Amino acid sequence: AQTVTQSQPEMSVQEAETVTLSCTYDTSENNYYLFWYKQPPSRQMILVIRQEAYKQQNATENRFSVNFQKAAKSFSLKISDSQLGDTAMYFCAFRNRDDKIIFGKGTRLHILP
C-alpha cells in the first residue's frame, strides 16, 4: 500500500528562522507527483509547492523549497525567513498513476513572534 508519513506532528520556530518539515512516502511506482499543501486556521487548503518524480531538480517557490530524494523516498519542505502567516497545518501528499492523492497526517507549524 502507498503511504505518506510525516514524522513531526507539531513544530515551533521563531519568526525569520528557517524550518524544515519532513515527509517520507512508500511506493513501487516510478512516475508520480508530490505536493505540499498548507491549511491555515481559515481551513482553506492551499498548494505550496509540487514536484514531479522524474525531475531531479528540486522545486522552489519563493521562500519555499523542497529536498527531494527519490531513492530515499523523501520529500522535505524548507521554509526560509518564516513569517507569522506561515502558521498552519502542512500536508505532504503523493499522487499516483491512478490519480489518487494520499495525504500524510500533517505537521502543525507555529511561527512565534
Q: φ, ψ for residue 44 (rounded to 5)?
A: -70, 135
Distance between CA atoms of residues 18 and 21, nearest Å:
10
* Nearest approach, Cβ of residue 26 and another protein (Å): 17
Q: Does the footprint of another protein cover residue 57 (CB under 8 A)?
A: no
We find the least distance from the C-beta atom of residue 108 to another protein, in angstroms, to be 8
Distance CA 71, CA 6 (A): 17
Summarize as ranges the residues that interact with another protein (CB under 8 A).
31-33, 35, 39, 43-47, 50, 52, 89, 91, 95, 97-103, 105-106, 108
